[in-house]
Amino acid sequence: MPKRGALRGLWKDADGADGADSEPGMRLARRILPLLLPVLPLTLWYAYHYARTGYVFGNPEFFRYNVAATLSPLRFLLALVLRLWQAFGYLHLWLLTLGMVWAMLLPPVKDSGSERARIAISVQMIFLVVVAAYVVAMALVGARC
């Protein structure tokens, strides 16, 4: 049975001081392996789907209309602007976005005379990568605008 919170260690720096293995490559492999495990069922699903239908990504006409036709550079740029608006401005999300930017510019709050620790830059970068990946993926092959 894995230790509670074991997945939290996946996001630590590669030189992690708390690794049980002495080799850095082994620590890295032990951290990356759980992230690669979802590839196995996905590969099995694609193999099953191909065996049953003869197509990897479904009906070729559906794929052409919903994926291949969306790869125009102009369409991508317009969809990217739209997805950025949807992520940060739509339905008054721009108020939350402005509040977040304002809060990031303020000095840290002091509790009992000591400053609260800021959210680590590595954690902020993880959030940035997730949001950026979502926005770019939806602009590239997301639902038609």
- Quick one: pLDDT at residue 22? 57
Q: Can you give the pLDDT at residue 11?
A: 52
For the chain, which residues score pLDDT lower than 50? 1, 13-17, 19, 21
Burial class (CB in 10 A: 0-12, 13-18, 19+), 72: exposed
Q: Which of 23, 48, 45, 33 is nearest to 2 (CA)?
A: 33
- How confident is the model at residue 6, as a pLDDT? 55
pTM to 2 decimal places: 0.55
Structure tokens at 109: 């709050």
Q: Dihedrals φ, ψ of 114, to 5°?
A: -115, 145
